[in-house]
Structure 1
Amino acid sequence: MPEPADLADRLIARHFPRDGEGGLTIGGLSVAALADTYGTPLFLYDAAVMRSAYRALAGAVAGFAQVDYSVKANPAPAVIRVFAQEGAGAEIASGAEFEAALGAGLAADRILFAGPGKGETEIDRVVAAGIGEIHLENAEEMARVAAAARRHGRIARVAIRINPGPEAQGGAMRMGGKPSPFGFDEEDLDAVVDAVEAEPGLALSGIHLFAGTQGLMAATLLAQWGHGLALAARVADRIGRPLATIDLGGGLGIPYFASDSDLDLDAIRAGVPALARSLAAHPGLAGARVVLEPGRYLAGPAGIYVARVRAVKVSRGTRFLITDGGLHHHLAASGNLGQVIKRDYPVSAVREAPDSPRSPCAVVGPLCTPLDMLARATALPDLAEGDLVAVLQSGAYGLTASPTGFLSHPLPAEVLVDAGRAARIGSP
């Protein structure tokens, strides 16, 4: 049977099938029943969907790269633990994320630390704990890590984050080929390598490349990874010894909008052997651990944000569903987290009878700002006060990427469903 044309319906068919009464389920449990138990608004995450995404990607890049989890996407320790149990390490961007990863059961040496503004206290903490690798992004950071290594009598393993040239651009948010606060410019790489090598407390073990995010084109990702291998070879040649790690970043995307397509893992799988041959052909790279560290791709499809309708009104021909959830919990779905042209995430009624007629409506939250809009013109059935709506693709960049203090509404519950059981969890 072909997949439905509507993105929300496709995602529901894959991950959250409806029961005999037209109600969404997650991990075999009723979404409506979970909303009654935990209250609304709430985030629900399905561990089985996370595991499936991890295994599919790890299988596609087998023989070339290993897959770690980027904690920033969803830092709940229970979510990190799901991926750790699959064999993933963690990429973090703050001291609090480091503690979350440790709390999820990861050893410090399975954690990588990236980010352009690492503070002295958090650098000191991770160096003392024996973190696996710190990714250097500027000269001041290099000095801070070297100083921490001296204080603790350690040699800190570091990688150089490179801001790549224009040929490596790609993704919905391009992070290479232009002026950037992230990493050292590719054209300055030789001087940076020499500076790191001159620091006795630092061991240059690899490079880190992150050219863009929300990438949905396999060919673009494969080209970026190939460019990363070329830069890694350049560094290995300059230092005269093999690299231990090559972090090619994350940036793998998921479909949010009607025009988006799924990332083609078959095309990724087909392109991997050539990259693996290139890696094996260079003596300075052949033994390196190649890392991909996606977050959104692994956690995003597993989550839904559930809100309850408080009122329905028609204003000048537009139907508004006013709910108890909004941008204070899910800034990304409101279109205010990086979208230039605001478009609707996939949204669905939690309970919908088969063949129920749908019509366009706006789904808005309780905040007194016109920015608080979860959907602008999404097709939903005739809903009333007390009914539930679900925002799909909400497992990443949801609660912790949102202004939760705005207007002082209470925090929503976060619930992980695993093996038929639901448990309330939380971010650090």
Structure 2
Amino acid sequence: MSTVKPVHAPMSQFPVIEDCLQIGGIPLTQLAARIGQTPFYAYDRKLLAERVALLRRVLPSAIELHYAMKANPMPALVQHMAGLVDGLDVASQNEMKVALDTGMNPAEISFAGPGKRPPELAAAIAAAITINLESAHELETVARLGREQGRRPRVAVRVNPDFELKASGMKMSGGPKPFGVDAEQVPAVLRRIGELELDFQGFHIFSGSQNLRAEAIVEAHDRTFELALRLATDAPAPIRLLNIGGGFGIPYFPGDTPLDLAPIAANLERWLPEVKARLPEVRVVVELGRYLVGEAGIYVAEVVDRKVSRGHTFLVVNGGLHHHLAASGNFGQVIRKNYPVVVGNRVVGTEREVVSVVGPLCTPLDLLADRMELAQAEVGDLIVVFQSGAYGLTASPAAFLSHPPCVEVLV
């Protein structure tokens, strides 16, 4: 073991007082005692509000903000977000229930995703939320269910464009995709919507996620607006809703640079006059998930063992990939990278060492930090994984090996 020059916490959004991380103004050790168990996720409501306020300040005022609940559907968090944003997007009937429970106007809730089952679609029609149609078959199912209810379903067409968001973490458009209607097939779908006399709202065009390159998002927005204006000529009614998706990324790994919003905002400002002139009734929506909540959350697990194996120190914690799959490397990335990790109650520490943080599961994939320099930790100390507010607990195999569940709190 060697003494290493003290360093600061890798993520600055959470203060450090007396070497202890503060969450929502509460010392981590006190928060852990208040919760009464580890592991847990904690989300800072002040950081959530600040992120929305940043977007309101930088983006054109005409842009509406929607929260994509799949990033984090925790009911208390969604309730908080509903008071900050203009709308919610859901991807299942359970998410729809959480969204409706917030009191959000159903007209500002949209339902996206392939393979929606008839009971889910029927519930969406009854709730009068907007259904983003993913196929011609789904369109016919919605029309039939609407007739059975004596209601006129609100629909938009999710478009699979003929381009993708370059350098995105997850490409969701361009080429064959299970998401949306191929752009070249959209005119026929629009004609059928007109024949069926559904309540047509507009388009949802989403091309990718987790992008830190402003120029790539600007290009995607350019092509999205061009495509929307072209498709609008076949619309059965005036376009009232144009959801241009999100794709805004957050930094996770060394060398990642936070997204520069200024070029994106300037480009939206440039486009809005033309879009409004040609589509006078349109509301332009930016739908974000990870960017709104990802940096506001942490995952906390407790050191239960400290062991040395052939000269290398392992900190064994009571949480792992079953709670935070992404931080572990998603069941084996080709090149695994460490999320930002600290010992939350010894952030800087006086003694430091290179260790690996592993979980309790019987698999070598249960790894939260691989050969990472941390403050020297002992049994009972708290390991913190930053950037954990999005795609954490509900995106992880919680039932894997049947370990105890994790809790979530909003502070």
Shift of 1:235: 2.3
**Where do residues 51-130 of structure 1 align in structure 2 (5 Å cutoff)?**
51-130=49-128
Distance in 1 between residues matched to 2:88 and 2:348, nearest whole Å: 42
Aligned ranges 1:291-306 → 2 under 5 Å: 291-306=285-300
Does the 8 Å contact 1:72/1:93 carry over to 2? yes
User: Is 2:264 the counterpart of 1:281?
Assistant: no
Q: Please point out which of 175, 178, 182 is paired with 1:181.
A: 178
Task: Output aligned runs, 1:135-150, within 5 Å.
Answer: 135-150=132-147
Aligned match of 1:245: 241
Sort the Cα spacing of 1:338 and 1:68 in 2 relative to 1 into closer, same or farther, 3 A: farther
Counterpart-to-counterpart distance in 1, 2:172 and 2:90: 18
- 2:153 matches 1:156: yes
Cα distance in 2 for residues equivalent to 1:106 and 1:74: 17
Choose the corresponding residue for 2:214, options 214, 218, 238. 218
In structure 2, what is the equivalent of residue 205 of structure 1?
201
Contact 1:53 1:298 in 2 (8 A): yes
- Superimposed CA distance per residue, residues 351-372 of structure 1 (whole angstroms, 9 cap, x where no aligned partner): 2265634332211110111111
Equivalent of 1:308 in 294, 302, 306: 302
What is the distance in 2 between the residues matched to 1:330 and 1:184? 33
The corresponding residue for 2:3 is: none
Structure 1 residues 371 and 237, CA, compared in 2 at 3 Å: closer, same or farther? Answer: same
Task: Provide the C-alpha distance between the structure 1 equivalents of 2:347 and 2:286, rounded to a whole number of angstroms.
Answer: 42
Counterpart-to-counterpart distance in 2, 1:174 and 1:353: 36
Hey, what's the Cα distance between the residues in 1 that align with 2:7 and 2:331?
A: 21
Match of 2:191 in 1: 194
1:7–1:61: structure 2 CA closer, same or farther, 3 Å change rule?
Answer: farther
Deviation at residue 167 of structure 1 after TM alignment? 5.8
Q: Which one is further off, 165-174 or 313-322?
A: 165-174
CA distance in 2, matches of 1:353, 1:272: 40
Alpha-carbon distance in structure 1 between the residues aligned to 2:205 and 2:392? 25
Post-superposition CA distance 1:81-109 (Å, at most 9, x none):
11111143100000000001112222322
Structure 2: stretches of 5+ with no match in the other structure:
1-5
SS at match of 1:368: coil
Displacement of 1:7 in angstroms is 11
1:268-298 superposed Cα distances (whole Å, 9 cap, x missing partner)? 223222121331332xx23211111111111
Asked whether the 8 Å contact 1:78–1:104 carries over to 2, the reply is no
User: Who is 2:397 aligned against?
Assistant: 403
Gaps of 5+ in 1: 1-5, 418-428
Which residue, 324, 345, 364 being the options, matches 1:330?
A: 324
Deviation per CA, 1:298-341: give whole Å up to 9, x if none. Answer: 11111101000011122233321110010111111111179553
Could you tell me whether the CA contact under 8 Å between 1:70 and 1:90 is conserved in 2? yes
The 8 Å contact of residues 170 and 211 in structure 1, kept in 2 or not, is answered as no
Distance 1:351 1:192 in 2: 57
Give the letter for the 1:230 counterpart: E
Deviations 1:117-175 (A, max 9, x none): 111001101101111x1101112211111111111111112111111113654411111
Residue 178 of structure 1: how far off its partner (Å): 2.0
In the TM superposition, what is the alpha-carbon distance from 1:37 to its structure 2 partner? 2.5
Structure 2 CA distance for partners of 1:354 and 1:409, relative to 1, 3 Å: closer
Q: How does 1:358-377 map to 2 (within 5 A)?
A: 358-377=352-371
* Contact map agreement 2:187 2:235 (CA 8 A) in 1: no
Work out whether 1:254 is the aligned partner of 2:250.
yes
Whether the 8 Å contact between 2:146 and 2:152 is mirrored in structure 1 is yes
> Secondary structure of 1:208's match?
strand
CA distance in 2, matches of 1:384, 1:101: 42
Structure 2: distance between partners of 1:191 and 1:259: 46
Which of 319, 343, 347 matches 2:337?
A: 343
Once residues 238 and 7 of structure 2 are traced to their aligned partners in structure 1, the CA distance between those partners, rounded to angstroms, is 46
CA gap of 1:111–1:59, structure 2 versus 1, over 3 A, is same
What SS does the aligned partner of 1:102 have?
helix
Is the alpha carbon distance of 1:247 and 1:16 closer, same or farther for their aligned partners in structure 2, counting shifts above 3 Å?
same
More off after superposition, 151-160 vs 164-173: 164-173
Report the secondary structure of 2:227's partner residue. Answer: helix
Secondary structure of 2:404's aligned partner = coil
